[in-house]
Chains A and B, each alone.
Chain A
């Protein structure tokens, strides 16, 4: 016989503290590809300086959502706003392709799981970083070189290799070049799509430590997608759990891992080795 597991619903309309306004707000994001529902009515709110982790099994929609945040795709419906200094772009999905490209180049950084998506493999590492600065309008060679050096250094990339091509570098080093490129213009938002997947554990620890330091020292707001719960637990302040294109649970990282409320989250957390 099945027990009645109904619990009393809690009032969540509590008084709020004097905290900052959200930097990212997405509302009602839905996307279908043919017969497949990739995202169904997803809402996201991210506050300045926090790391929002997104977990879920393959095909849950987490990477699709990240691509939406990077304006690489447009949903069938939904609203997306970034709170940026001295500008109001309204719903970013209404922007023209060129405007999207400029906004992303200037205000959003992204690190892909596959470095081939984020880097020009046959250009120098410093050139890859400088390319991001060029898109934003920088033209002076000295400034380009100086800023590229600074971003590579902040990403703990060895400067003696700054003229090496990514194709000559290890996976961990390639991720550092991607990271340097992503933070070169001090973006309002850094998107990380499985940034440590495929790296050996010691390199993974170094990349995570670099990210944590960047978040601490530069207060960069991050959205981190990973299927690795250990990575999310180490990095994230808050966590969204996705399944079949929907958000099934959202909460403080420790709460989601220690007291998961949804049956799927419990399954996910208990399956962790």
Chain B
């Protein structure tokens, strides 16, 4: 029997920032390799500055890697995210890969429910259905109905984060990247997030996450990778998935 192909194979990925005004380079991480399978939840660990968020952003391609590959089994074909054309990355972001940060990037004068509904509208859902689902997820994450038509720029940090999560998780993806999504959430919203992630994981969504308090998602974690400065080490069971 042949082993299943990973959804994501990261090979020798390195990121260095070149800072012209300092005439210097900043090494974030080097030679990171691991596999991620469908329905798997991978936790990234490491001290502040170890490069956890940078690794997520490099896979997402907000940051350009300087070496290595990120082989991704897309529904449209296999592709190396590290070297793919920008237009392909934009397409995958719309359809298959999600990124959740701890900050809402809200456009001015757009209501919370419209911000949340937008990914569905972009995916071709009708206005009424998109709005209904948006309200459902706002409700799930604990945003009060009187705020649904308000502009999130006036919300507290915690309320903004709930809107952010509802938007980011409304459309099931194949690969989900989570960058400290529980920061500034209350207990109810954290529980809603765990429920949603469990649901997505059971649907086969592969997840890589960075959490300030990993205990929030302890029940979901399949494996961990510890990022030290420029060194990567495997911590748990499946050693074959991480190469140094």
Q: Which residues of A contact B (CB under 8 A)?
A: 2-3, 5, 7-8, 10-19, 47, 50, 201-202, 205-206, 208-209, 212, 216-217, 234, 237-238, 250-252, 254-255, 258-259, 261, 263, 266-267, 270
Contact = CB atoms under 8 A, between A and B. Distances in A.
Given A7-B18, A8-B67, A205 B107 contact: yes
Contact of B90 (A13, A238, A263, A266): A238
Per DSSP, chain B at the interface is mixed
B63 A14 contact: no
Interface stretch (B19-27, B131-139, B165-173): B19-27
A17 B91 contact: yes
A270 B78 contact: no
Interface stretch (B81-89, B205-213, B230-238): B81-89
A216 B122 contact: yes
Contact of A261 (B18, B85, B92, B118): B18
Question: Which has the most chain A C-beta neighbours within 10 Å: B18, B86, B107?
Answer: B86
Contact of A3 (B21, B24, B66, B118): B24
Contacts of B84: 14-17
Contact of B17 (A3, A201, A259): A259
Given A16-B85, A47-B87, A212-B107, A10 B79 contact: no
Nearest to A201: B108
B64 A255 contact: yes
Nearest to B19: A266
Nearest to A10: B83
Contact of B80 (A14, A209, A250, A270): A14
Nearest to A239: B86
Contact of A2 (B23, B83, B90, B107): B23
Contacts of A217: 121
Given A16-B88, A206-B109, 12 more contacts: A7-B66, A8-B67, A10-B83, A15-B77, A15-B80, A17-B76, A17-B84, A19-B91, A238-B90, A252-B62, A258-B57, A261-B18
B87 A238 contact: yes
A97 B64 CA distance: 43
Contact of A263 (B20, B25, B78, B92): B20
A47 B87 CA distance: 8
12 contacts: A3-B23, A5-B20, A7-B66, A10-B64, A14-B84, A14-B85, A16-B88, A18-B76, A19-B91, A50-B90, A255-B86, A266-B21
A74 to B, nearest CB: 28
A262 to B, nearest CB: 8
B61 interface: yes
Contacts of A209: 107-110
B65 interface: yes
B79 A14 contact: yes
Contact of B107 (A7, A47, A208): A208
A18 B107 contact: no
Contact of B67 (A10, A258, A266): A10
B23 A261 contact: no
Given A19-B91, A216-B121, A261-B18, A238 B63 contact: no
B65 A5 contact: no
B226 interface: no
B16 interface: yes
B61 A252 contact: yes
Contacts of B229: none
A30 to B, nearest CB: 24
